[in-house]
Protein backbone atom coordinates (compact mmCIF):
# COMPACT_ATOMS: atom_id res chain seq x y z
CA UNK A 1 0.00 0.00 0.00
CA UNK A 2 3.03 2.28 0.13
CA UNK A 3 2.51 3.55 3.68
CA UNK A 4 1.41 1.87 6.89
CA UNK A 5 -2.39 1.80 7.12
CA UNK A 6 -2.32 3.55 10.47
CA UNK A 7 -0.61 6.57 8.95
CA UNK A 8 -3.26 6.71 6.24
CA UNK A 9 -6.36 6.42 8.40
CA UNK A 10 -5.60 7.04 12.09
CA UNK A 11 -6.47 10.74 12.22
CA UNK A 12 -9.79 10.16 10.46
CA UNK A 13 -10.67 7.27 12.77
CA UNK A 14 -9.81 9.28 15.89
CA UNK A 15 -11.97 12.17 14.68
CA UNK A 16 -14.89 9.82 13.97
CA UNK A 17 -14.61 8.19 17.39
CA UNK A 18 -14.61 11.56 19.14
CA UNK A 19 -17.54 12.80 17.04
CA UNK A 20 -19.40 9.61 17.99
CA UNK A 21 -18.93 10.28 21.70
CA UNK A 22 -15.68 8.56 22.69
CA UNK A 23 -14.24 10.75 25.42
CA UNK A 24 -10.78 9.18 25.49
CA UNK A 25 -8.78 7.26 22.93
CA UNK A 26 -6.12 4.60 23.30
CA UNK A 27 -3.99 3.46 20.37
CA UNK A 28 -2.00 0.24 20.56
CA UNK A 29 1.14 0.45 18.43
CA UNK A 30 3.87 -1.98 17.45
CA UNK A 31 6.99 -2.20 15.33
CA UNK A 32 7.99 -1.66 12.63
CA UNK A 33 6.10 1.64 12.23
CA UNK A 34 5.21 2.18 15.86
CA UNK A 35 7.19 5.37 16.42
CA UNK A 36 5.49 7.21 13.55
CA UNK A 37 2.07 5.87 14.51
CA UNK A 38 2.65 6.80 18.16
CA UNK A 39 3.50 10.37 17.16
CA UNK A 40 0.35 10.62 15.04
CA UNK A 41 -1.79 9.09 17.80
CA UNK A 42 -0.42 11.50 20.38
CA UNK A 43 -1.03 14.42 18.01
CA UNK A 44 -4.64 13.19 17.74
CA UNK A 45 -4.97 13.30 21.53
CA UNK A 46 -4.78 9.55 22.10
CA UNK A 47 -2.95 7.66 24.80
CA UNK A 48 -0.37 5.29 23.29
CA UNK A 49 0.40 1.76 24.49
CA UNK A 50 3.13 -0.40 22.97
CA UNK A 51 2.51 -4.00 22.05
CA UNK A 52 5.98 -5.49 22.53
CA UNK A 53 4.82 -8.85 21.12
CA UNK A 54 3.00 -8.17 17.84
CA UNK A 55 4.04 -11.61 16.63
CA UNK A 56 1.22 -12.89 18.88
CA UNK A 57 -1.24 -11.39 16.42
CA UNK A 58 -3.93 -8.75 16.36
CA UNK A 59 -5.73 -10.35 19.29
CA UNK A 60 -2.72 -9.55 21.51
CA UNK A 61 -3.13 -5.84 20.73
CA UNK A 62 -6.84 -6.06 21.51
CA UNK A 63 -6.16 -7.81 24.83
CA UNK A 64 -3.47 -5.26 25.72
CA UNK A 65 -5.85 -2.40 25.02
CA UNK A 66 -8.54 -3.92 27.25
CA UNK A 67 -6.00 -4.66 30.00
CA UNK A 68 -4.85 -1.05 29.91
CA UNK A 69 -8.45 0.10 30.34
CA UNK A 70 -9.29 -2.04 33.38
CA UNK A 71 -11.35 0.26 35.58
CA UNK A 72 -13.51 1.17 32.60
CA UNK A 73 -16.43 -1.20 32.03
CA UNK A 74 -16.06 -1.39 28.24
CA UNK A 75 -14.01 -0.28 25.27
CA UNK A 76 -14.78 0.29 21.62
CA UNK A 77 -12.20 -1.48 19.45
CA UNK A 78 -11.77 0.23 16.11
CA UNK A 79 -9.46 -1.31 13.54
CA UNK A 80 -7.16 0.96 11.59
CA UNK A 81 -8.13 -0.57 8.25
CA UNK A 82 -11.83 0.30 8.65
CA UNK A 83 -11.74 4.07 8.03
CA UNK A 84 -15.30 4.68 6.86
CA UNK A 85 -17.31 3.89 9.99
CA UNK A 86 -19.80 6.65 10.75
CA UNK A 87 -19.94 8.57 14.01
CA UNK A 88 -23.60 7.52 14.25
CA UNK A 89 -22.52 3.88 14.45
CA UNK A 90 -19.99 4.74 17.15
CA UNK A 91 -22.68 6.58 19.11
CA UNK A 92 -25.12 3.65 18.74
CA UNK A 93 -22.60 1.19 20.18
CA UNK A 94 -21.49 3.46 23.02
CA UNK A 95 -25.08 4.21 24.06
CA UNK A 96 -25.95 0.51 24.00
CA UNK A 97 -22.96 -0.32 26.18
CA UNK A 98 -24.04 2.17 28.83
CA UNK A 99 -27.16 0.03 29.32
CA UNK A 100 -25.45 -3.35 28.89
CA UNK A 101 -21.75 -2.89 29.70
CA UNK A 102 -20.91 -6.55 30.25
CA UNK A 103 -21.75 -7.87 26.78
CA UNK A 104 -20.32 -7.49 23.29
CA UNK A 105 -22.02 -4.99 20.98
CA UNK A 106 -21.59 -5.45 17.22
CA UNK A 107 -22.82 -3.33 14.33
CA UNK A 108 -24.65 -5.17 11.55
CA UNK A 109 -25.25 -3.90 8.01
CA UNK A 110 -27.65 -5.92 5.83
CA UNK A 111 -27.20 -8.95 8.08
CA UNK A 112 -23.38 -8.84 8.10
CA UNK A 113 -21.37 -8.09 11.23
CA UNK A 114 -18.69 -5.44 11.00
CA UNK A 115 -16.44 -3.08 12.97
CA UNK A 116 -15.93 -1.45 15.38
CA UNK A 117 -16.67 -3.91 18.16
CA UNK A 118 -17.52 -2.88 21.69
CA UNK A 119 -16.21 -5.29 24.33
CA UNK A 120 -16.33 -5.42 28.11
CA UNK A 121 -12.82 -4.84 29.44
CA UNK A 122 -13.31 -7.96 31.58
CA UNK A 123 -12.93 -9.94 28.33
CA UNK A 124 -9.18 -9.23 28.23
CA UNK A 125 -8.13 -12.61 29.71
CA UNK A 126 -10.39 -14.44 27.27
CA UNK A 127 -8.83 -12.57 24.35
CA UNK A 128 -5.36 -13.26 25.71
CA UNK A 129 -6.12 -16.99 25.82
CA UNK A 130 -7.78 -17.17 22.38
CA UNK A 131 -6.12 -17.59 19.00
CA UNK A 132 -8.49 -15.01 17.49
CA UNK A 133 -10.94 -12.32 18.50
CA UNK A 134 -13.67 -14.18 16.61
CA UNK A 135 -13.19 -17.26 18.81
CA UNK A 136 -13.17 -15.18 21.99
CA UNK A 137 -16.30 -13.25 21.01
CA UNK A 138 -18.10 -16.53 20.23
CA UNK A 139 -17.80 -17.36 23.94
CA UNK A 140 -19.47 -14.13 25.08
CA UNK A 141 -22.98 -12.77 25.05
CA UNK A 142 -23.42 -10.65 21.94
CA UNK A 143 -25.96 -8.01 21.00
CA UNK A 144 -26.20 -7.07 17.33
CA UNK A 145 -27.18 -3.53 16.35
CA UNK A 146 -28.51 -2.96 12.82
CA UNK A 147 -26.97 0.20 11.39
CA UNK A 148 -27.31 2.01 8.09
CA UNK A 149 -23.55 2.18 7.65
CA UNK A 150 -21.77 0.20 4.92
CA UNK A 151 -18.49 1.55 6.33
CA UNK A 152 -18.58 -1.12 9.05
CA UNK A 153 -17.80 -3.69 6.34
CA UNK A 154 -15.12 -1.77 4.45
CA UNK A 155 -11.75 -3.37 5.22
CA UNK A 156 -8.88 -1.81 3.28
CA UNK A 157 -6.05 -4.34 3.15
CA UNK A 158 -4.63 -3.96 -0.35
CA UNK A 159 -3.35 -1.27 -2.68
CA UNK A 160 -6.32 -2.02 -4.95
CA UNK A 161 -8.74 -1.56 -2.06
CA UNK A 162 -7.07 1.71 -1.14
CA UNK A 163 -7.28 2.89 -4.75
CA UNK A 164 -11.01 2.07 -4.95
CA UNK A 165 -11.62 3.82 -1.62
CA UNK A 166 -9.65 6.89 -2.72
CA UNK A 167 -11.66 7.11 -5.96
CA UNK A 168 -14.89 7.42 -3.96
CA UNK A 169 -13.63 10.40 -1.98
Provide, rounded to the nearest whole percent, the portion of the chain with pLDDT above 70: 95
Confidence of residue 94 (pLDDT cuts 50, 70, 90): very high
**What are the extents of the domains in the chain?**
5-167
The pLDDT score that the predictor gives to residue 160 is 76
Distance CA 137, CA 124 (A): 11
What does the pLDDT read at residue 6? 81
The pLDDT of residue 8 is 87
Tens-place pLDDT, residues 132-163: 999 999 999 999 999 999 999 998 877 776 76
Q: Is the dihedral of CA 112, 81, 99, 92 positive or negative?
A: negative
Please tell us whether the domain made up of 5-167 is placed in CATH 3.40.50.2300.
no
pLDDT above 60 for 1 = no
Q: Is the pLDDT of residue 166 over 80?
A: no
Amino acid sequence: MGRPKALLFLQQICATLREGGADSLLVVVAAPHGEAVARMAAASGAQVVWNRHPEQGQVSSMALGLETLQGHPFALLALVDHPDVSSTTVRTLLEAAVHEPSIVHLPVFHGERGHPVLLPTAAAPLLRASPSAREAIAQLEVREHPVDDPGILLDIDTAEGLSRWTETR
